[in-house]
Amino acid sequence: MADLLSIGKTGLFASKKSLETTGHNLANANTEGFSRQRVIQQTGIPIVKGGLIHGTGSRIKNVVRIHNEHVEKKLHDATSEHSFFKEKAFQLAQVEDVFNEINQDGLNKVLNKFFNSFRELGNQPENETIRSYVRDNAKLVLKDFKRIKTTLDSIDKNISRKVQANVVAINQIITNVATLNKKIATSESSSDEASDLRDSRDNKINQLSEFFQTKVYSDGKGRYVVSAEGVGTLVAGGEAQLLAVGGDNRTGSEPDGRMHVYFKNRPSYPFTNKIKKGELAAMIAVRDQDIGQLRKNVDLVAFEFINTVNAIHRRGYVNRQVKLDPQGKAIDNNKNHPINGINFFAVPKELKNISENIALSKEVLADLSNITTAMSPNSPGDNRIALAISKLQSEKILDNGTTTLEEKYLQSIGTIGLISGKAKLNADQSHGILNQTKSVKERFSGVSIDEEAANMVRYQHAYDASAKVMKTAEEMFQTVLSIKR
């Protein structure tokens, strides 16, 4: 009877623990990332008495969470993929807004206005008002080149600031993962439950996957070793290898102040361009590749625009009376007031950042008569220079004589549009895959309220039955005692 009482007691404890676990599942039915838990119950170790084997009831082996490592890995990969395309689409949308010419006069329109104003000047080469109009349109072109450069630089700097913020968040996450590794190892070494801690750790890894593609495996003690794909190990056991952001310490900060990512204890080896997937990779790709190439293309258009206009403009003569020698050649004896060889734009020193440094020549700024239209001196009706400049609008002067200035510019912004459109499409598709993966995990690890409610009834009945076993054992014991009296 003492054995019967012990057997009932083990059943009572097992049912109680199962009820507690069921209640814990129900309480966390809406907790993100929670994996339902199950009590693993085993028979007690049997004993032999009088040649017979006697059962000793049941015992709780452990409490496990319903978890699938393969599904978890797919979720991490899907999260990285979606975060990459979502962030890339967001950043490229901002770049597209720089070249939006629907609601404003963009560079393409002001370039056309500039060439059309020279065409009008060709029709009326003596008209001072049209000369002023030409100079004003030229200023609009310069202003828009600078606007594009300034806005792209602003987007670049915003990306760098966001990279810095992401690195701070990453360091917090990997520090938390390292701390959870320690807590899980300590808890499980003393046979305590660590299912909730493991869920917290998986949630942290999933948050980390938003920034870059992660690779995770468990060591012999149940601790995670976490690495960034293509970069290196971030967490090993209870140790976290923190990241930092700064200039490339091998050469110092780059001219544009661009920031790089590296391990805090290895500042001389940045791995910025090795990051795969996730927000970080998307931002870096837009900053270093898409915006970088766009800058080069816009600078190239500005460079060729300035040089070709200057090359033609220098061939012309000023729109004022000049002295001629007996042979009819113009006499240029005043360096402060040249009569030809005048640049319309200031000559650029280098191709890089020309969009920001573009300017009118001091001669054109000082005197409208220095805007040349004639190829011969003292020829008021000569419009050959003005017409030649206006024809640059359709001249193929780029890419080995195959592309006009307008076509090169439109190709550049068209390429950004295509990349942006593709990123948006991929973001939508990856979002669907991510939701599907979350659904698979939820079906496998999530809490079913109906199932848990049924389990509660089942464990409650088992608890009641075990209590009745104990009550019966007590009644039998009292019967035996009454016989002795």
Task: Please report where in the chains the tokens 């805007």 appear, as a residue.
Answer: 371
Q: Name 450's Cβ contacts closer than 8 Å, sequence gap at least 6.
A: none
Residue 365 phi, psi dihedral angles, 5° rounding = -65, -35
Nearest 5°: CA angle at 28, between 25 and 33?
105
Contact 184, 222 (CB under 8 A): yes
Residue 314 phi, psi dihedral angles, 5° rounding = -65, -25
Instruction: Report helix, strand and coil shares of the chain as percent, to nearest 5.
Output: 60, 10, 30
Contact 364, 372 (CB under 8 A): no
- Give the SS3 label for residue 271: coil
CB count within 10 Å of CB 30 equals: 9
The domain limits of the chain are: 2-66+446-484, 71-77+161-282+426-438, 107-149+289-413
Contact 390, 314 (CB under 8 A): no
In whole angstroms, give the CA distance from residue 92 to residue 286. 7
Would you state the structure tokens that stand for residue 169, as one six-digit string?
């968040």
CB count within 10 Å of CB 292 equals: 16
Contact 135, 113 (CB under 8 A): no
Of 128, 107, 37, which is closest to residue 302 (Cα–Cα)?
107
First to last CA, the chain: 18
- Give the SS3 label for residue 330: strand
CB count within 10 Å of CB 476 equals: 13
pLDDT tens string, the chain, 485 residues long: the values are 457 888 888 888 999 999 999 999 999 999 888 999 999 888 888 887 777 777 888 888 888 888 888 999 999 999 999 999 999 999 999 998 888 765 567 788 899 999 999 999 999 988 889 999 999 999 999 999 999 999 998 999 899 899 999 999 999 999 999 999 999 888 877 777 788 899 999 999 999 999 999 999 888 777 889 999 888 899 998 899 999 988 754 444 344 556 789 998 888 888 888 999 999 999 999 998 899 889 888 999 999 999 999 999 999 888 887 777 666 676 666 666 788 889 999 988 777 788 888 899 999 999 998 999 988 888 878 899 999 999 998 888 888 888 888 888 888 888 888 999 999 999 999 999 999 999 999 999 999 999 999 999 999 999 899 889 888 888 887 887 787 66
Q: The dihedral of CA 462, 467, 468, 473: what is its sign?
A: positive
Contact 232, 174 (CB under 8 A): no
- Centroid of chain to Cα 53: 66
Query: Which H, E and C letters describe 135-204, residue by residue?
Result: HHHHHHHHHHHHHHHHHHHHHHHHHHHHHHHHHHHHHHHHHHHHHHHHHHHHHHHCCCCCHHHHHHHHHH
The angle, 0 to 180 degrees and rounded to 10, between the axes of the packed helices 69-98 and 128-189 is 160
Would you state the structure tokens that stand for residue 403, as one six-digit string?
């592309």
Question: In terms of DSSP bridges, do strands 232-236 and 239-240 run parallel, antiparallel, or are they unpaired?
Answer: antiparallel
146-171 burial string, b = 16+ CB within 10 Å, else e? bebbeebbebbeebbebbeebbeebb
